[in-house]
Amino acid sequence: MRAFMLLITGLALAAAASAQEQDFSKVEVKATRVAGNVYLLEGAGGNIAASVGEDGIVLVDDEFAPLAPKIAAALKSLGITDKPVRYVINTHYHFDHTGGNAPFAGEGSTVIAHDNVRTRMASGGTAGNGGSVHMQTQPAEKAALPVITFDHDVSVHLNGEDIRALHFPAGHTDGDAVIYFPRANVVHMGDDYVRYGFPFIDVDAGGSAEGMIRACEAVIEKMPPDVKIIPGHGALSTVAEMREYVAMLKATSAAVSKALKAGQTLEQMKAAKLLAPWSKYSGDFITTDAFLETLYNAMTKSGHTPFVRHN
């Protein structure tokens, strides 16, 4: 529930495009060692991963601008290095994951992200599920924009880690990156995997459940079975828990795909309570009906209806 409420805070701020209006004075940033020299930082917004060592610090995502001093203080309190944050890698463009870009860049950090992250941050626009969930995002200031971008993957070699940012298209957004720390055996999934229930899929920014499934399944298939998983929001996770998440995405997608092939409208699917069997995933923000809209809009927008069969 805490992770869910932090997500709501983040999206509300993005919609208002004014983090300064939110009171961050009581937010505490907690740092927890995950494995090796990789730490999880939790404050408000998306989860942060940090590689901390003698070469400096690499952050994956950076929450909100007003929290940058608290994030820096939490890193310093670890007592591992007095070196600065050298790199920030964004998993996607949403404000609750990139809000700290400008202050960290101002202190000398280099921001790295997929090409589409820079494009969407620079232009602003509409984020949403193509239906009832939507918000306007304002163009980011120049200092917040990634200065190194990639179209497939990129590696950062620091602190004995070959940190790999891997692009998986059309999942949470069209600019998602999964970040893998092979030596520590830790992966940060961004918002392709979250633990607050039905996920927010930014259909307006090229997202789809199909892409989320591909990203999660690629991690499950290619990475060690005991890899430690940092979700975009929520507590540390395991491969087994992510399999359950994938199973939910596949089953709900299959139900909507089957109804579409039968000629049902979105209104008919809602009336029939098509996703009622998965109602335990419903939340105050992404309700069962909102997720039904998400799947329907993503499928009709893409022009095909995948996942008729369960795998």
For the stretch 88-97, pLDDT in tens is 999 999 999 9
CB 75 within 8 A of CB 57: yes
Over residues 245-267, the pLDDT tens digits come to 999 999 999 999 999 999 999 99
The predicted structure's pLDDT at residue 311: 42
Q: Is residue 242 part of a domain?
A: yes
The predicted structure's pLDDT at residue 284: 86
Domain tally, the chain:
1
CB 50 within 8 A of CB 8: no
Q: Is residue 137 part of a domain?
A: yes
Residue 66 dihedral angles phi and psi, to the nearest 5°: -65, -15
Which residue's structure tokens are 């050298």? 86
Taken in order 71, 76, 80, 84, the sign of the CA dihedral is positive
Which residue's structure tokens are 């409208």? 265
Distance CA 248, CA 288 (A): 12
Residues of the chain with pLDDT under 50: 1-20, 304, 307-311
**Cβ atoms within 10 A of the Cβ of 174, count?**
22
CB 259 within 8 A of CB 274: yes
CB 227 within 8 A of CB 187: yes
Query: Bridge-partner residues for 162, per DSSP?
Result: 157
**3 state SS of 197:** coil
CB 254 within 8 A of CB 310: yes
The predicted structure's pLDDT at residue 303: 54
The one-letter amino acid code at 239 reads V
C-alpha 64 chain-centroid distance:
14
Q: Is residue 153 part of a domain?
A: yes
What range defines the domain where residue 175 resides? 2-247
Taking the model in full, what pTM does it have? 0.91
Q: Is residue 254 part of a domain?
A: no
CATH at 177: 3.60.15.10
Q: Is residue 293 part of a domain?
A: no
Cα distance from N-terminal residue to C-terminal residue, the chain? 30
Q: Is residue 25 part of a domain?
A: yes
Q: Is residue 309 part of a domain?
A: no
Q: Is residue 71 part of a domain?
A: yes
Range 234-241 contact pairs with CB under 8 angstroms and sequence separation of 24 or more: 234/3, 234/47, 234/194, 234/195, 234/196, 235/3, 235/195, 236/34, 236/40, 237/193, 237/195, 241/195
**Per-residue buried b or exposed e for 299-310, using 16+ beta carbons within 10 Å of the residue's own CB:** beeeeebbbeee
The predicted structure's pLDDT at residue 17: 41
Distance CA 206, CA 202 (A): 7
The predicted structure's pLDDT at residue 135: 92
The predicted structure's pLDDT at residue 13: 42
The predicted structure's pLDDT at residue 5: 44
Distance CA 73, CA 78 (A): 9
The predicted structure's pLDDT at residue 1: 42
The predicted structure's pLDDT at residue 302: 63
